[in-house]
Chain A
Amino acid sequence: MSPVRALPAEVAAVRALIAEGYTGIVRAADDREQFWIRSALERLAWADTALAGVVDGRPARLRALTTTAVTAAVAAGSAALARMIGGGLPVALALAGPLLALTLYRIGPARRRPATPAPPELPGPPGSGLAEVPAGLERARVRLVSAGLRRAGRANWRPPAMRRVIAADPVLARLAEADLLLCQAIDCLERYLDDLSKDWP
């Protein structure tokens, strides 16, 4: 029986593999502004930020705190306003209901801006070439998927349950998002290599 590895360690390993792939692309690609290369680099950086959000739980806790504080403030404020007007509980409720709905709607949906990735500038010695990078990224993906499956639990390994687990668990949703971005990066790289091998004019 293998020891159960903790999620942060697993995520750190995946991030290291992604960073390795990133530097591999940066070193091997002659034109970084080429469409496929640029998209692959972008997606790798986004996947890295998504994985960084898995380990760091502070934003989620901060959001919960903010929501609570804003709710309390709006309710207290509308009650005080109702007092000032001279109405009782019905007036306070009539004021607080729409105001709370409005504020929770404004806060509610996670307005995530895709963070602008900061690419590490590493003009080091040329590595083994671009052709080996997808294999390394696929290794990263295998680790990521096994971490996700372990997180979901063995009972949920059938697609109908898996869909709902991904929708319900924010950590797993982030892992799935990172996996999607990683797959896109691999796909972009493979299409670039495919174009190169066709040797079009």
Chain B
Amino acid sequence: MSRDDPFAGGVAPRLRRLDRDLAEAIVDAQCRDWTADRPDRVGFARLGQVRREVGRAAARYRVSPRAVDRTAAPAVLLAGLLVVAPLLWLAPDPGRPLPLAAIAVAGLWAADLFRAGLRRLRIRRARHAPDRAAPIDDPFRYARARRTIESCAAAARADRSYRRRGAAADLEYALDWLSAAQEELPRVR
């Protein structure tokens, strides 16, 4: 298999999407292990190894993971509408340096506050939400991850840059860990 879909974008966005998928599956499996809903401390640890190797490959492509969740944009919007715009409207001569700096700082803190509030709201809503199936048990997810990793490794091997060719080796490790996570090798005891 050389590449899954030549129109799916370059290697970097595919790696970023894969990283997000893996993170979701890992956190979900870890929660289920903590709450004894699906006790298994090995599967998510191995998926974590996959994610580490994928992250190392992504670092060779200079992909930085985005630390923005779903609450960031509404929080910024709310802070802009409810705090920054009224302050700009009401303050006398807000174009001077000090008032503008104060307004910017107020907007920043308000965005943080709104973000914390929105997160608390989301947690409260999730308390009674129906549960879904664990993504770590989904075989199609493993197949998709394997396909993505293989195609990215093929693309990395054919890359002109020496640094990016090194990503192929990391992705090979990631494939090993992925199959270890899926197949759950037998152990002592």
Contact assessment for B96 and A79 in the assembled complex, using a CB-CB cutoff below 8 Å = yes
Q: State in angstroms the CA–CA spacing of A135 and B188 once bound together.
A: 13
Of B69, B108, B187, the contact of A71 (CB 8 Å cutoff): B108
Q: With A and B bound together, what is the CA distance between A106 and B53 in angstroms?
A: 25
Give Cα A190–Cα B35 distance, bound, in whole angstroms.
24
In this assembly, does A165 line the interface, its C-beta being within 8 Å of a C-beta of chain B?
yes
A158 and B127 contact, CB distance less than 8 A? yes
Q: Is the CB of A71 within 8 A of B48?
A: no
A-B pairs with beta carbons under 8 A, tally: 140
Kindly list chain B residues whose C-beta atoms are within 8 Å of the C-beta of A164.
119, 122-123, 126
The CA of A77 and the CA of B45, in the complex, are separated in Å by 48
A74 contacts the other chain (CB 8 A): yes
Chain A, interface residues (CB within 8 Å), range? 35 or more
Q: What CA separation (Å) do A167 and B108 show in the bound complex? A: 20
Is B27 in contact with A167, judged by CB distance below 8 angstroms?
yes
- Given A149-B34, A179-B30, A184 and B49 contact (CB-CB distance below 8 Å): yes
B123 touches A183 (CB 8 A): no
B-contact 0/1 string along A138-175, CB 8 Å cutoff: 00010001001100000111111111111110000000
A159: chain B residues within 8 A (beta carbon): 28, 31-32, 35, 37, 131
B26 surroundings in chain A (CB, below 8 A): 180
Contact check, B41 vs A186: say whether CB atoms are below 8 A apart. Answer: yes
Query: Is B104 touching A180 in the complex (CB atoms < 8 A)?
Result: no
CA distance A79 to B96 in the complex (A): 6
Query: Do B126 and A160 touch across chains, with their CB atoms under 8 A apart?
Result: yes
Which of the listed residues A80, A109, A157, A184 has the most CB atoms from chain B within 10 Å of its own CB?
A184
Residues in B with CB closer than 8 Å to A100 are: 104
> Interface residue count for B (Cβ, 8 Å)?
50
Question: B48: which of A73, A93, A184 is its contact (CB, 8 Å)?
Answer: A184
Interchain nearest-CB distance for B147 vs A (Å): 25
Cβ of B66 to closest chain A Cβ, rounded Å? 6
Chain B hits for A148, CB < 8 A:
34
B69 and A79 contacting across the interface, CB-CB below 8 Å: no
Which residue of the partner chain, among B27, B41, B97, B105, contacts A79 with CB atoms under 8 Å?
Answer: B97
Shortest CB–CB separation between residue B90 and chain A, in angstroms? 13
Q: Which of B44, B105, B123, B188 contacts A68 (CB 8 A)?
A: B105
A residues with CB within 8 A of B: 67-68, 71-80, 82-83, 88-89, 92-93, 96, 100, 108-111, 141, 145, 148-149, 155-168, 176, 179-181, 183-184, 186-187, 190-191, 193-194, 197
| 6 pairs, CB–CB < 8 Å, chain A vs chain B | A73-B101, A76-B98, A183-B41, A186-B41, A186-B45, A187-B42
- CB-based closest 3 A-B pairs: A75-B104, A183-B45, A89-B95
